[in-house]
Amino acid sequence: MQPGDMNEVITFERLTTTDNGGGGQVETWTAIVPVSWAKVTPKSGSEQVRAMQVGTAQMFDIWLYSRRDITEADRITRSSGDVLRIRFIADETNSAFMTILAEKVTP
């Protein structure tokens, strides 16, 4: 992996909960700063049935400089606007880079 291979800006987002002022709570996705440069590569695709509807799922490998503030509960927004669910984070202990397996689901 060369730094020049990372040609897309991605944003990590974390689900946060705030009071709505009426006794309830609202969940929103909040960007985790800073954004990251990454190499995003399609890996595979499949068709799935969820709630009696057919949708497609596409997996991506994402390479970027290592970060310690990301978890599988976070998500990724690509510069194209696509939202990816993080499925697995492979962070090598002595490496400058990390790999993320993420999924885009299209209903």
What is the tens place of the pLDDT at every residue in 31-84? Answer: 998 899 999 999 876 655 555 566 677 999 999 999 989 999 999 999 999 999
pTM: predicted TM-score of the whole model, two decimal places: 0.82
- Distance from C-alpha of 77 to C-alpha of 12, rounded to nearest angstrom: 6
What 8-state DSSP symbol labels residue 103? E
Q: How far is CA 5 from CA 25, 38, 82, 90, in A?
A: 41, 8, 20, 18
Task: Single out the residue of 93, 41, 97, 100 nearest to residue 70, CA to CA.
Answer: 100
- The answer, yes or no, to whether residue 1 has pLDDT greater than 80, is no
pLDDT at 45: 61
